[in-house]
């Protein structure tokens, strides 16, 4: 029988990859809690209608769907926002406002695997459901994403938050002669523009917008590169829809992240439910897909049978993020490390003391290991300690046989010292590496 491979577009997480995944998740959770969000989760599959009704054709065409034994049409979740809306609708009258929830979810999309995009991936989602002060909620959402990215070492020279507004863009397009029925086509074009070569974009525009005059107006509109230029370009009828964006950029400046943010009229997001501000975060060199994307979706709860409540949120996937962090050499702290490895040269003499040390260190929350074979030479045990990336080797050797001492070896620089066991156990409280929670 041939070896069975993993399904195309999925990943196996060996310990090295699992360490990176856990490190990403820990950072996402820490940033969420730091910014006032609380965690939730939803089922891995939902009724198919939840997605086909409100997420638009793009998501509907990327579903892994199935029919269960009762004939019900289901789908594995390709995103979490519809699930969030369903859950909030069920308890909308009892939830205190603002609702600030986050989740870290496994998602699946039936699409062609390529760099930065897989069929199965993990995504960090944060959402804010608030009755008022839209721009402050929008800013808090963007700030949370930037806060995390800064916490893992990315600086303003590495990433850019590109921000626009669907509501503003709709008004601007209509002022240029486009009608409501054409807006979806234009949104789809603009969403694809950064992802395809210029000649292919031009060909798509010619095919989908046959009117040469309208195409020319769209190209001029695309050249608008800042809020100031937008104000000069837009007719008076559109000025009112620009004000929320001006306010948002002012708030982001006061929150200290304006250097990370910029206006980009081409940002529209592919999902049909976005209604206002939209944003995507890219690497500055624009070599990768978006690291993060989100925006305002004020009609989604009402569209799923609930009340009309304003909402904003974003999703950040692990695939593109890991590629970017690896390119920037920012994943060193994600590696597996062992705190202590217990080494002894004669298990008959030192086994009891060694196992007692294992217990004491583990009770303190330190990861600790030892050689199960009990017959290995000390050199081999030290090699094992090195292969497991131990930070320290705790050595019980002949030189300490007549004393209650150990030799503590720093595996990084090779330095070592003798120290009484009781003093060593007290000293571990001062060590700077992370102890595991009990």
What are the pLDDT digits (tens) for 364-376? 999 999 999 877 8
Looking at the chain, which residues constitute the CATH 3.30.930.10 domain(s)? 19-332
Cβ proximity of 245 and 168 under 8 Å? yes
Half-sphere exposure of 87 (CA within 13 A, CB side): 17
C-alpha 398/C-alpha 348 separation (Å) is 12
| Dist CA 174 CA 219 (whole Å) | 15
Q: What is the pTM of this model?
A: 0.89
Q: What is the CATH number of domain 337-430?
A: 3.40.50.800
- How many Cβ atoms are within 10 Å of 84's Cβ, its own excluded? 24
Residues 194/281, Cβ–Cβ less than 8 Å: no
Where does the chain hold its CATH 3.40.50.800 domain(s)? 337-430
Domain 19-332 has CATH 3.30.930.10: yes
Which ranges of 111-225 would DSSP assign to H, the alpha helix?
Answer: 134-151, 166-175, 180-192, 198-208, 212-222
pLDDT reported for residue 437: 43
Q: Which DSSP category does 428 fall into?
A: G
The Cα–Cα gap between 319 and 21 comes to 10
Q: What are φ and ψ of residue 253, in 5° steps?
A: -65, -45
Q: CA angle at residue 137 from 133 to 138, to 5 degrees?
A: 115
Q: Render pLDDT for 220-257 as a digit per residue (tens, 0 to 9).
A: 888 888 999 999 988 888 999 999 999 999 999 999 99
pLDDT for 225? 87
Q: How far are the Cα atoms of 46, 184, 188 from residue 58, in angstroms, in the given order?
A: 18, 12, 10
pLDDT of residue 58: 59
Question: Looking at beta carbons, which pairs linking 257-261 to residues 24 or more positions away fall under 8 Å?
Answer: 257/142, 257/143, 257/146, 257/161, 259/156, 260/146, 260/156, 260/159, 260/160, 260/161, 261/142, 261/146, 261/160, 261/161, 261/163
In this predicted structure, what is the pLDDT of residue 373?
87
In this prediction, residue 59 carries a pLDDT of 63
Question: Is there a contact between 323 and 288 (Cβ–Cβ < 8 Å)?
Answer: yes
CA distance 3 to 206: 49
Residues of the chain with pLDDT under 70: 54-60, 133, 271, 400, 431-438
Cβ–Cβ < 8 Å for 192, 201: yes
């Amino acid at each position: 029988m041939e070896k069975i491979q993993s399904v195309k577009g999925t990943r196996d997480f060996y310990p090295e990859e699992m360490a990176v995944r856990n490190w990403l998740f820990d950072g996402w959770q820490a940033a969420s809690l730091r910014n006032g969000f609380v965690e939730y989760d939803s089922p891995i599959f939902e009724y198919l209608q939840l997605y086909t009704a409100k997420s638009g054709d793009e998501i509907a065409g990327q579903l892994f769907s199935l029919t269960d034994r009762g004939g019900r049409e289901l789908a594995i979740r390709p995103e979490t926002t519809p699930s969030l809306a369903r859950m909030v609708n069920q308890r909308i009258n009892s939830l205190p406002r603002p609702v600030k929830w986050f989740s870290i979810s496994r998602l699946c999309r039936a699409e062609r695997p390529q760099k930065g995009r897989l069929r199965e991936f993990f995504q960090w989602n944060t959402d804010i459901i608030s009755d008022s002060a839209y721009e402050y909620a929008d800013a808090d959402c963007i700030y949370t994403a930037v806060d995390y990215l800064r916490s893992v070492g990315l600086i303003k020279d590495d990433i850019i938050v590109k921000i626009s507004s669907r509501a503003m863009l709709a008004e601007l397009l209509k002022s240029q002669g486009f009608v409501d029925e054409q807006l979806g086509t234009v949104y789809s074009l603009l969403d694809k523009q950064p992802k395809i070569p210029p000649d292919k974009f031009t060909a798509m525009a010619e095919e989908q917008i046959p009117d040469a005059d309208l195409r020319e107006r769209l190209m001029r509109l695309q050249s608008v590169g800042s809020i100031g230029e937008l104000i000069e370009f837009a007719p008076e009828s559109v000025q009112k829809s620009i004000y929320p964006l001006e306010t948002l950029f002012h708030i982001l400046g006061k929150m200290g992240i304006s250097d990370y943010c910029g206006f980009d009229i081409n940002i529209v997001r592919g999902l049909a439910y976005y209604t206002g501000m939209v944003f995507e975060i890219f690497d500055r060199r624009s070599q990768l897909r978006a690291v993060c994307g989100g925006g305002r979706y004020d009609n989604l709860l009402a569209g799923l049978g609930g009340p009309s409540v304003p909402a904003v949120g974003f999703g950040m996937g692990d695939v593109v993020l890991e590629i970017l962090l690896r390119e920037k050499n920012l994943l060193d702290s994600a590696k597996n490390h062992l705190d202590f490895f217990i080494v002894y040269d004669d298990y008959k003499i030192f086994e009891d003391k060694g196992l007692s040390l294992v217990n004491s260190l583990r009770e303190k929350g330190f990861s600790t290991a030892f050689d199960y074979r009990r017959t290995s030479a000390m050199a081999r045990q030290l090699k094992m300690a090195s292969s497991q990336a131990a930070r320290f080797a705790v050595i019980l050797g002949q030189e300490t046989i007549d004393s209650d001492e150990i030799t503590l070896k720093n595996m990084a620089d090779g330095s070592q010292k003798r120290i009484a066991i009781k003093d060593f156990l007290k000293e571990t409280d001062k060590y700077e590496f992370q102890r595991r929670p009990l």
